[in-house]
Amino acid sequence: MNKVKAVVKIKKGEGRNLKSGGLWIFDNEIDAISGEFENGDLVQVHDFDDFYLGCGFINTNSKLTVRVMSRVKGQEIDHDFLEMRVRAAWEYRKTTVDLESCRIIFGEADFLPGLVVDKFSDILVVQSLALGIDRMKLEIIGLLKELLKKDGYPVRGVYERSDAKVRLNEGLERVKGFLGEPFDTKVQIVENGVKYLVDVAEGQKTGFFLDQKYNRAAIAKLCKGARVLDCFTHTGSFALNAGLGGAREVIGVDASALGVAQATENAVLNGLSDTVKFITADVFDLLPEYERNGELFDVVILDPPAFTKSKSSVKNAIKGYREINLRAMKLVKDGGYLATCSCSHFMTPDLFAETIGQAARNVRKRIRQVEYRTQAPDHPILWAADESYYLKFFIFQVVNEK
């Protein structure tokens, strides 16, 4: 690691995120930078009065200018430090989640800002989103492989999915490919007893959404003998959990033909082809059509992509969530169930709940909350790091007014 030479001084009254437990310093919070540095280097962070706040890596190309790695004065960000961080992340997963497939490193929430590592069976998928951590990723992956091997989880291969658009904000190219020996990028995993083929090269983000693992299991118990509609099914995960839960009929819908093809393949893999069917369609168009045709379902599931990725577009997102939820409620039989979620951290829990409530009032439905859930524990929520809390998941019983 390079030695820390430069000091970033924070303006008086700024650095609230860092001081309350977060890891970020934005460009408009910085008063001055003294000493020599290159982007990606480690720097010290001091308050306006020179009080030591931490050490992290800097990138003046980004509005998110410093990401803090440690708050301990004198802490060396070296091999031993990275080994400590990686070990802590792995030990946490060992006590909280099924290790067959899980997120092992979740960026800031594991105090390794800008880095994501997912485990799919014996394959690791790494996503690096910041210049400083990009320089450390190979060392971190090496440490992780050693730890997993010692615990009986040898790694067969590593694939990089650092192709997210956000890397451009860091002055980094979008890249993907093998880190080491090549392998078949379609990897079979088992989650909640459901088999999936995960395409780590071409699937969305790292190939599969692990954050809904236990939410998918939660809806399965509602689906015995049920007719189920799974909207925004992606590769069929909720639909397949419903099928294995004993549903008599499941329809999964997605606008992506590739996603539907993968979902259909997964249904075959689980012996559910007769029960679970998938169609390619725009959910916003399909739900009104189902309503006109008098279609009703015992369970409707909404797992849409994020309708907003910035504060500026929240108002439009509210309209989208309200529309999709009221349309779905109209398709739920009296006494049936609606599972609905948002994966945008800008759509706060209170705002999401208020939007669903508005949708229910608009269609004169009464909703009874069965459960409120968030992301799986391998995506831990770091308090003071709001971006780590993004998934809101409700299950409601939908009751007609009588």
CA distance linking residue 185 with residue 165, whole number of Å: 22
Between the CA of residue 257 and those of 251, 253, 280, 362, what are the distances in Å?
15, 10, 6, 33
CA distance linking residue 38 with residue 7, whole number of Å: 12
Helical ranges in 118-256 per DSSP H: 131-150, 213-220, 237-244
343 is catalytic: yes
Tokens 């059509």 -> residue: 289
* One-character DSSP codes across 269-302: HTT-TTTEEEEE--HHHHHHHHHHTT--EEEEEE
Those residues whose C-beta lies under 8 Å from the C-beta of residue 98, and which sit 6 or more positions away, are 191, 213
Between the CA of residue 399 and those of 71, 231, 309, what are the distances in Å?
51, 20, 33
| DSSP code for 4 | P
Cα angle vertex 273, ends 269, 278, to 5°?
A: 105
CA distance linking residue 194 with residue 191, whole number of Å: 5
| DSSP code for 62 | S
Catalytic site residue from 102, 231, 341, 343: 343
| DSSP code for 377 | T
CA distance linking residue 386 with residue 203, whole number of Å: 26
Catalytic residues: 343
